[in-house]
Amino acid sequence: MYRYFIIAFISFFLIPGEARSQESSITAEVFAEVIEALAANEDQALNFGRFTTGNNGGSVVISPGGIRSAQGSVIAAGGGYSPGKFLVEGEPGATFSIQLPQTASTLVHSESGKTMDVEGWVSDPPSGDAATLSDGERLVSIGATLNIGPVDENPVGIYSGSFIVTFAYN
């Protein structure tokens, strides 16, 4: 029995074979791809158009599809109005997200400094959904609600302001 043990012992250490150890190293591959930067341009300003405030005020709503409605004592008048439109450009086929303002934006009267607030932001494609850059571009339309006070709070004249919308790759 002892002789078999010595033969096995010598065979194990002296006969060449595959060596095994507690560690192993391998060279692996790594890849990266730089894609076109995401860019956005305002093609059309959000414009609530012309209206009268009436005695009690109210609101004017512009949908992303360009439909305008007046509520309260506000009466819509003739002239142009439009949703905001942005051309988003980037890597063809990539998806991106839209982040609309979380708070109201303020429009300021050009002479008196009186204000109106814009809120209730909506977009097409909807914010929260992944939008795809078909052929490397996508048109995004944005609508909102303009809150208007009575004529003593919001006198006749031009009101202007701005808002921030963010587009980001997913």
Domains in the chain: boundaries: 36-169
Per-residue pLDDT of the chain (170 residues; tens, 9 = 90+): 555 545 455 555 555 555 566 889 999 999 998 888 999 999 999 999 999 998 899 999 999 999 999 999 999 998 899 999 999 999 999 999 999 999 999 999 999 999 999 999 999 999 989 999 999 999 999 999 999 999 899 999 999 999 999 999 99
Q: What is the pTM of this model?
A: 0.81
pLDDT score for 35: 86
- Residue 106: closest CA among 56, 61, 146: 146
pLDDT score for 149: 94
Structural domain 36-169, CATH architecture: Sandwich (2.60)
E-state strands within 27-164? 39-44, 51-52, 58-62, 68-72, 75-76, 84-89, 95-99, 105-109, 115-124, 131-132, 137-148, 159-160
* 14 φ/ψ angles, rounded to the nearest 5 degrees: -105, -20
Residues 152 and 147: their CA atoms lie apart, in Å, by: 14
pLDDT score for 36: 85
C-alpha triplet 37, 44, 151: angle, nearest 5°: 135
* 63 φ/ψ angles, rounded to the nearest 5 degrees: -85, 160
pLDDT score for 77: 94
pLDDT score for 13: 53
pLDDT score for 14: 53
pLDDT score for 21: 64
